[in-house]
A and B are shown apart, each in its own frame.
Chain A
Amino acid sequence: MRIALFVTCLADTLFPKAGQALVTLLERLGHEVAFPMDQTCCGQMHLNSGYRREAVPMVTGFTEAFGKFDAIVTPSASCAAMVREYHPALAASTGDRALAREAERIAPRVHELSGLLVNVLGVTDVGAYFPHRVTYHPSCHSLRMMRVGDAPLRLLRAVRGIDLVDLPDDETCCGFGGTFSLKNPDVSAAMGADKVSAVLQTGAQVLCSSDNSCLMHIGGALSRLRAGVATMHLAEILASTESTGGAQVSR
């Protein structure tokens, strides 16, 4: 299958390893990955901060970059949810009917990684090897917007060598929330502190999630505490094999 990668502005700029791992993984599973170079950002930061007007060019840009693909995958449940749930309405609000139709047509083609693998491609064992203690944080938008359910956990359980431990109160928000983390830094930190405490209770070496944004927040707090817990995107663990240095924790 030919799958277009929407890497997201965040992963593109700060977490390229997640995108690279996603490419490695899909190619190993026999798919062809395309990366439209004219992609930028889904506009979620602007929309969710109240800058609706400023988000519109990002919707237009997204439809132009991805309009010709039947399947689009992204290493962010949050950005996938933005495209699916908000792009059509945002496009319609401009009065540009061609743009609205295009956004409506593309929206259901956008998948978050675990949903694509489990629900579209029908695989749970991707042949990965990762001999470390891992705990998984399900991001709010993966749970409550993309409704991926236990797809990420099914993928992780099938990884050889993994010691997967439950995260207490896993469905509670970590407190990132986009610009919430800057506009309400104290509340965001208080929520993050409880998430960090849950992560530390597990004794995990690696915290895994389907969103780099949550990992940046929880990982930033773990790092500030010098807690010694690494953060890795789901794609990075699923891309690991014996031959690609699966014994190594990447960061």
Chain B
Amino acid sequence: MPTYLGMPAFPEAAAAALGNSQLRRNLAHATGTIRVKRAAAVAELSDWAELRAAGRAIKDHTLANLDFYLTRLEERVVSAGGQVHWAADAEEANAIVAGLVRAAGADQVVKVKSMVTQETGLNEALAAEHIHALETDLAELIVQLDGDRPSHILVPAIHRNRAEIKDIFLKDMPGVPADLTDRPADLAGAARSYLRRTFLRATVGISGANFAIADTGTLVVVESEGNGRMCLTLPETLISVVGIEKILPSWRDLEVFLALLPRSSTAERMNPYTSTWTGVTPGDGPRAFHLVLLDNGRTSALADATGRQALRCIRCSACLNVCPVYERTGGHAYGSPYPGPIGAIITPLLRGVTSPIDASLPYASSLCGACYDVCPVAINIPEALVHLRGKVVDAKRHGFPRPERMAMATAGWTLRSPRRLGLAQRAASASRKVVGRSGRIRRLPPPLSGWTRTRDAPAPPPESFRAWWARTRGGGG
């Protein structure tokens, strides 16, 4: 994910975002609305728990037999007239796509909203080859016109309100009517007429896929606006970049996910457009189909026994919408196209924990567990976060001990001995006379100053519980 290099660590980026009152307002409104709708959509199904268990089981089975299903998918796509390319990382995937676009003689491509091409930084890579990639999803278009980055998996412009969108269109959209208002229908109309002109000229379309069905070599895209259907059917050449974890064994399995995904993501019983295609069909749709299968860290995530559950993710974004951290910071602070709770585990699993932003992501959570409750494939995000925190700490164990590690070592030494804990408590109680005459401490030294910057701390009590017990009950239990 090259475009995110050099991002500050999460706490610093988040602190800046917290000060943006428009962002706070937009996010609280949008996530609050969708939370309520999702809960209602899910509550309609009496067998949600069973569906969720089935979704989890299908994904786990496929991931455990990924070599088999990938080979089968390749066979079936090829026999249906498609070509399959394998990309080990983002750079390889981008080079393959650029080569295919050039071979098709195009200098412009239309794109279906795709997380995986955000992950590889495809648009930037194509731009370096003088190929313009046009995003056709409305929210992606808003973000692209503004030179901004998506901040949500499903709703990339969730951080913008309609007044801001109107301004972006007036400033950056070619041929936009000068009397554009901020009415949603007007904004959609302006985007529609701009996009329609582009669709009719496009010769190459680029997509991701929500699912890839191994049995038949069929790709599936689930969307709301119909722009995907246009990109998938109008151009002569279609290139789909798909992460290797997107496979489902058969059409039967798709049924489960078409129930889980729309309710979890847009709170709809069924999404408006579900497009499926298998290789090429003479006289109908693209004449050339290329499938680029991408690893980019997925096999190393698969090798991580606790972390691999993240590969079950179907990018619904339900976890973002219920996350109290995401709701307040927005998506940009996560330094990755995958923000929110799922991003805080997927990004370090794919990229490792060496950079400041990646090492800070597993800590960007209060571990409240709301994400796990809503996840349609039961990814235990808190468990994975704690596991990845262990990796962050272990990666820094060699070398000079930092203050945090020394503090944790001291705390551990104290807390594993009842005698030492008792002594520390007596020292704390004695300090009461100095630090907490009012019962509240207003200021503490680092690293506890982070606490007292916004909160008072309780003064130690005159005696600890164990001292009270020993005094009144004479010790032993």
Contacts and interface: CB of A to CB of B under 8 A. Distances in A.
B408 A144 contact: no
Contact of A16 (B393, B453, B465): B465
Interface of B is mostly: helix
Given A47-B386, A184-B11, A190-B328, A20 B468 contact: yes
A183 B363 contact: yes
Interface string A180-218: 111111111111100000000000000000000000110
B379 interface: no
Q: Which of B369, B450, B465, B477 has the most CB of A within 10 A?
A: B465
B457 interface: yes
Contact of B415 (A9, A19, A145): A9
A145 B412 contact: no
A13 B464 contact: yes
Contacts of A4: 477
Interface in B391-442: 391-394, 408-409, 411-412, 415-418, 421, 424-425, 428, 439-440, 442
A189 B449 CA distance: 13
Interface string B351-369: 0000000000011111111
B97 to A, nearest CB: 37
Contacts of B447: 182
Contacts of B369: 140-141, 143-145
A182 B464 contact: no
Interface string A34-78: 111111110101111111101101100100000000000000000
Nearest to B372: A144
A57 B416 contact: yes
Interface stretch (A94-102, A111-119, A155-163, A170-178): A170-178
B415 A58 contact: yes
Interface string B370-403: 1011000000000000100111111000000000
B167 interface: no
Contact of A144 (B324, B370, B461): B370
Contacts of A171: 370
Given A177-B365, A221-B455, A187 B416 contact: no
A182 B451 CA distance: 6
B327 to A, nearest CB: 9
Contacts of A120: none
A233 B458 CA distance: 14
B476 A140 contact: no
Given A16-B468, A40-B417, A41-B415, A48 B451 contact: no
Contacts of A19: 465
Contact of A54 (B412, B458, B464, B466): B412
Nearest to B369: A144
B325 interface: yes
A175 B364 CA distance: 11
Contacts of A17: 461
A188 B373 contact: no
B477 A36 contact: yes
Contact of B475 (A37, A176, A179): A37
A80 interface: no
B370 A140 contact: yes
A8 B389 CA distance: 23
Given A13-B460, A16-B464, A40-B421, A192 B455 contact: yes
Nearest to B405: A51
29 contacts: A9-B415, A12-B464, A13-B424, A13-B464, A15-B461, A16-B463, A20-B465, A20-B468, A37-B477, A49-B389, A50-B386, A50-B391, A54-B408, A57-B412, A57-B416, A140-B368, A144-B373, A177-B368, A182-B448, A182-B451, A186-B15, A186-B18, A187-B325, A190-B328, A191-B366, A216-B458, A219-B456, A220-B458, A221-B455
Interface of B: 10-11, 14-15, 18, 324-325, 328-329, 362-370, 372-373, 386, 389-394, 408-409, 411-412, 415-418, 421, 424-425, 428, 439-440, 442, 447-448, 450-451, 453-458, 460-461, 463-466, 468-470, 473, 475-477
7 closest cross-chain pairs (CB), A and B: A177-B366, A220-B455, A50-B389, A173-B368, A50-B393, A144-B369, A16-B465
Given A7-B466, A46-B412, 18 more contacts: A9-B415, A36-B477, A40-B415, A41-B415, A41-B416, A48-B389, A49-B389, A51-B390, A54-B408, A58-B415, A61-B416, A144-B372, A145-B369, A177-B367, A182-B450, A182-B451, A187-B11, A220-B455
Interface of A: 4, 7, 9, 11-17, 19-20, 34-41, 43, 45-52, 54-55, 57-58, 61, 86, 140-141, 143-145, 171-173, 175-192, 216-217, 219-221, 223-224, 251
